[in-house]
């Protein structure tokens, strides 16, 4: 991917939001509704989406992906269009979510 400077096609068919929402539903099946575990799971999922949205443009992208990011960012902040009003977690997919976890685990090992 990086050797040939290939870009991931966006928007992804399986977005970060969809992956995390499906994970949340599977996990909720084994938890008591209204319990602390249930609430904590919801907070973690919301936090992961927010962290992904904030870190994508700053940490997760390769240099050659930044032009694509700027285009997507502008389209999500436009008043009209197919991506208007969407978050980055609604556009980017599992490839970038994996980068988030691998970046986090590498960074935490260095601390």
Indicate the average pLDDT of the chain.
91
Q: What's this model's pTM, rounded to 2 decimal places?
A: 0.87
> SS3 sequence, 5-29?
CCCCCCCCCCEHHHHHHHHHHHHHC
Q: Could you read off the pLDDT of 61-97 as tens digits, one per residue?
A: 999 999 999 999 999 999 899 999 999 999 999 999 9
- Record the tokens describing residue 79, joined without a space: 């008043």
pLDDT at 25: 97
- Record the tokens describing residue 85, joined without a space: 């009003």
DSSP classification of residue 35: S
pLDDT at 5: 86
Q: Which band of pLDDT confidence, cut at 50, 70 and 90, is reported for residue 4?
A: confident
Q: Which band of pLDDT confidence, cut at 50, 70 and 90, is reported for residue 107?
A: low
Domain ranges for the chain: 16-110
Question: What is the distance of C-alpha 98 from the center of its chain?
Answer: 9
Q: Could you read off the pLDDT of 13-66 as tens digits, one per residue?
A: 999 999 999 999 999 999 999 999 999 999 999 999 999 999 999 999 999 999
Domain 16-110 class, CATH top level: mainly alpha
pLDDT at 12: 97
């Amino acid at each position: 991917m990086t050797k040939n400077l290939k870009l991931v096609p966006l928007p992804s068919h399986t977005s970060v939001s969809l992956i995390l929402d499906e994970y949340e539903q599977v996990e909720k099946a084994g938890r008591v509704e209204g319990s602390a575990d249930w609430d904590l799971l919801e907070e973690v999922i919301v936090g992961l989406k927010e962290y992904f949205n904030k870190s994508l443009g700053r940490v997760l992208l390769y240099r050659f992906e930044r032009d694509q990011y700027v285009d997507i960012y502008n389209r999500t902040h436009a008043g009209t269009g197919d991506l208007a009003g969407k978050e980055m977690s609604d556009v980017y997919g599992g490839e970038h979510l994996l980068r988030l976890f691998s970046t986090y685990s590498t960074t935490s090992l260095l601390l």
